[in-house]
Amino acid sequence: MSSVAAVFTQNILPIFIVAGFGFALQRWVGLDKRTLSRAVFYCLSPCLVFSSLVNSQLPGDELLDLAGYTVATVAAMGALSWGVARVLRLSRLETTAMLIMVMFVNAGNYGLTLNQLRYGDAGLARAIIYYTTSTVVLYTLGIFIASMGKFSWREALKRLWQMPPIYAAIAALVVYSLKLTVPAPLLRGIEVAGQGAIPVMLLVLGMQMASMHGRFSWRLAIPTISLRLLIAPLVALFLTMTLGITGLGRSTSIIESSMPPAVFTIILATEFDLQPTAVTGIVVVSTLLSALTLAATISILGL
C-alpha cells in the first residue's frame, strides 16, 4: 500500500504544479483562458478521446462495464445528495446547486492526469471511459437538472450533439468495433494533438482558479464537500464490488469517482443563477482539499 505522502508527492503534486503555472499566468499575464478552453474542448480533448479509445485495446465487455459503472455512480451520488438536501431542508436553489456539484466531477484535466501519472497509458485508457460517459450525462441530465424544468429535453439533446467529444467517442467505437485501420499519418496527428490536451487542461484549471472569487456558504459547502470527497469513494468502492469491476478498471474508476466537483458546474450555476458565488467558492476549496483526500483514498484502498 502506497503511503499518503508518496501518493501526494509523486502523483498529485505534479498536477497542482502545472495548474500553478496556469494560475501564475492568469495573475501576471492575463491570458485569454476562454480561447484556451475552447481549443481543448473542440480540438485537443476529442483527439485525446479518439486516440485513447482506438489504441486502448480494451475488451468490449470491460468498456461497457466501465460505462455502466459511471452511470450508476452519477445516479447514486445524485440520490444521496437529494436525500441529504431534503433532510437539511435546503432551498430549491441550494438543492439544485448541490446536485450538480456532487454528481459531476472534474474527470478531465484532473482525473485523467492523475490516472495517467499513476497507471500510465493503460490507466488513461480506462479513465477516458469515465470521462466520456460522464460528459454525455453532464450535457444531458446535468443541463436538465440545472434548468429545473426550464430547459426542454429536446434542447438538451440538441446541445449534446454539438459536443465534439461525443462524436470522437462514437467514431472511436466504430473504428474499434469494426477493427478499421486509420491511416497512419492521420492517427499519428490525432495522437500528437491528444497528447497536448492534458497539459493545456491543467493550465486552464489553474487559470480558472485564479479568476474565481466566490463567497463561501458553509450551509451548502459542508454537506457538498463531505459527499463529494468523503462519501463518494465509499460509494465507488461499493459499486465496483457490486458490479464485479476489478483490476486496473477498479482503481481508475474509484479515483475518477473521488474527484472534486467539475469546474463546469460554475458555468451551469452562472447560466441558471444557482448561487454562482457560493458554487465557485465550494469548487475552489474542494479542489484544494482533494489533494489530501485523494492521496488518502489511494493509500487506504491500496489503489
pTM: 0.79
User: Rounded CA gap, 196 and 211, in Å?
Assistant: 23
pLDDT digits (tens, 9 = 90+) for 61-85: 888 899 999 999 999 999 999 999 9
- What pLDDT score does 149 carry? 46
- What pLDDT score does 159 carry? 63
Q: Which among 111-125, 152-166, 270-284 has the top mean pLDDT?
A: 111-125
Residues ≥6 apart with Cβ < 8 Å to 7: 118, 294, 295, 298, 299
Residue 143, pLDDT > 50, answer yes
Q: Which among 14-23, 42-51, 233-242 has the top mean pLDDT?
A: 233-242
Choosing among 1.10.8, 1.10.150, 1.20.1530, 1.10.287, the CATH entry for 4-296 is 1.20.1530
- What pLDDT score does 274 carry? 80
| Crossing angle for the helix pair 247-257 and 232-243, to the nearest 10 degrees | 150
Better-scored residue on pLDDT, 79 or 268: 79
* Number of residues in the chain: 303
As a whole number, mean pLDDT of residues 142-168 equals 68
How would residue 89 be classed by pLDDT, with cut points 50, 70 and 90? very high
Better-scored residue on pLDDT, 297 or 264: 297
pLDDT digits (tens, 9 = 90+) for 191-244: 899 888 878 877 877 887 787 665 667 889 999 999 999 999 999 999 999 999
Residues ≥6 apart with Cβ < 8 Å to 114: 11, 12, 15, 255, 294
User: Rounded CA gap, 172 and 14, in Å?
Assistant: 30
As a whole number, mean pLDDT of residues 158-162 equals 67
Burial class (CB in 10 A: 0-12, 13-18, 19+), 93: middle
User: Rounded CA gap, 169 and 136, in Å?
Assistant: 10
- What pLDDT score does 238 carry? 96
Q: Is the dihedral of CA 298, 300, 301, 303 positive or negative?
A: positive
User: Rounded CA gap, 104 and 86, in Å?
Assistant: 20
- What pLDDT score does 178 carry? 81
- What pLDDT score does 42 carry? 79
For residue 274, give the DSSP letter: S
Cβ(84)–Cβ(223) below 8 Å: yes
Name the 3-class secondary structure at 105: strand
- Phi-psi category of residue 244: left, alpha or beta, with phi > 0 → left and psi -120 to 50 → alpha: left
- What pLDDT score does 37 carry? 75
Residues ≥6 apart with Cβ < 8 Å to 38: none
Please give the mean pLDDT across all residues of the chain: 84
Cβ(214)–Cβ(281) below 8 Å: yes
For residue 149, give the DSSP letter: T
User: Rounded CA gap, 66 and 61, in Å?
Assistant: 9
Better-scored residue on pLDDT, 58 or 28: 28
Cell of 45: 480533448
